[in-house]
């Protein structure tokens, strides 16, 4: 009797661990706090704003990474935090309006 490939996969590894069955999203974060929205905009040289007020989970001192912005994808440190606005350093943010799907996570 031969054992089929699928049966061997179930025995040796859970089928949910197979790479072919994982969701491949550029915004999949395995650690830290993550927030993704198309309501995030960038203003001034140090301000990230969210019209949906989803930034409250990021705290002063958090190191964050922005993904999905053509101009502002990089790491920042949170200087001030509120539900709708983060002030960050370094102050290198370029102005960009909301609309693109932007992801923010702690690192």
pTM, rounded to two decimals: 0.71
Give residue for tokens 């960050």: 88
State percent of the chain over pLDDT 90. 68
**32-106 sits in which CATH class?**
mainly beta
* Domain boundary assignment for the chain: 32-106
What residues form DSSP beta bridges with 34?
105
For 4, list phi and psi in degrees, rounded to 5: -70, 160
Residue 28: both structure tokens together = 């999949």
pLDDT of residue 4: 56
| Residue 7 or 69, more confident | 69
Residue 83: both structure tokens together = 């539900």
Tens digits of residue pLDDT in 38-49: 999 999 899 999
Strands (E), 1-107: 34-37, 40-43, 47-50, 63-67, 75-81, 85-89, 102-106
């Amino acid at each position: 009797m031969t054992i089929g490939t699928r049966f061997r996969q179930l025995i040796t590894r859970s089928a949910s661990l197979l790479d072919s069955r994982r969701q491949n999203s550029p915004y999949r974060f395995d650690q830290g706090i993550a927030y993704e929205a198309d309501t995030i905009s960038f203003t001034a040289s140090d301000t990230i704003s969210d019209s949906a007020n989803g930034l409250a989970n990021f705290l002063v001192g958090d190191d964050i990474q922005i993904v999905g912005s053509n101009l502002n994808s990089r790491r920042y440190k949170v200087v001030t935090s509120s539900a709708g606005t983060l002030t960050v350093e370094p102050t290198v943010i370029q102005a960009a309006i909301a609309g693109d799907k932007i992801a923010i996570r702690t690192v």
